[in-house]
């Protein structure tokens, strides 16, 4: 059985280091696991219960929910915007948390990693994302973490997949998420 891990990136910027980190995860996925980098978070409207009506959910949000429903696990990549989670990632969490009690995160393993310019690598945002996804029903893998500081300098000339230390740590994260996803899928 192949474990399907859906990756959500909280940065929309074309040259985002978090996107590059997610691209590295796709390449470094362990045997028996597939990391799917979800595209289209920019097209999803802000969550609004008035438009979350069966039969008329916006197409972009429906695609996100479909991808989430088919996931065995999730891997969120979060930069830090003004000390907290980016709106685009929070919005994805909100859409995936519904319908209440039966959202795509419910009971599935979720890890949050990322990189940021600051000296702590975005840990505040990552902690906020863990909190939100846990409330949304996800089984947060609290011990599975990767925060890469100094992204602007560190990845100025090197893609994260070519940074030996980052690649090694990201591979460890992927092995743990994959194992948790496999366990959840067979439970």
Averaged pLDDT in 10-residue chunks for the chain of 187 residues: 94 94 97 97 97 95 98 97 96 96 94 93 96 97 95 91 95 98 89
Print the domain residue range for 181: 3-186
DSSP assignment letter at 41: G
Strand 3-9 and strand 33-37: pairing?
parallel
Tell me, what CATH number does 112's domain have? 3.40.50.360
Q: How many domains, the chain? A: 1
- Predicted structure pTM score: 0.96
Report the distance separating Cα 48 and Cα 38, nearest Å. 21
Half-sphere exposure (Cβ direction) of 20: Cα atoms closer than 13 Å: 22
Q: For position 100, what pLDDT does the model report? A: 85
Q: For position 8, what pLDDT does the model report? A: 98
Q: Which residue has the tokens 């496999």?
A: 182
Q: For position 19, what pLDDT does the model report? A: 97
| Sign of the torsion angle spanned by Cα atoms 128, 133, 134, 140 | negative
Query: Which is nearest to 25 in space by CA: 150, 167, 145?
Result: 167
**What are the backbone dihedrals phi and psi of residue 180, each rounded to the nearest 5 degrees, phi first?**
-65, -40
Give, rounded to a whole angstrom, the gap between the first and last alpha carbons of the chain: 13
Cβ-Cβ contacts under 8 Å for 159 (sequence gap 6 or more): 20, 23, 24
Q: Which residue has the tokens 């910027």?
A: 13
Q: For position 93, what pLDDT does the model report? A: 98
């Amino acid at each position: 059985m192949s474990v399907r891990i859906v990756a959500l990136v909280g940065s929309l910027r074309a040259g985002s280091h978090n996107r590059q980190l997610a691209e590295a995860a796709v390449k470094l996925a362990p045997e028996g696991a597939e990391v799917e980098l979800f595209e289209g978070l920019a097209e999803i409207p802000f969550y609004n219960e008035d438009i979350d009506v069966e039969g008329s959910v916006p197409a972009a949000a429906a695609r996100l929910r479909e991808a989430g429903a088919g996931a065995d696990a999730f891997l969120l990549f979060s930069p830090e915007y003004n000390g907290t989670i980016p709106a685009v990632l929070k919005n994805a969490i909100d859409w995936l948390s519904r319908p209440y009690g039966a959202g795509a995160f419910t009971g599935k393993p979720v890890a949050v990693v990322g990189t940021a310019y600051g000296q702590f690598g975005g840990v505040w945002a990552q902690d906020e994302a863990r909190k939100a996804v846990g409330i949304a029903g996800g089984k947060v893998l609290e011990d599975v973490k990767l925060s890469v500081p100094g992204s602007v300098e560190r990845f100025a000339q090197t893609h994260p997949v070519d940074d030996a230390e980052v690649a090694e740590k990201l591979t460890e994260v992927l092995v743990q998420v994959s194992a948790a996803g496999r366990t959840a899928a067979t439970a």
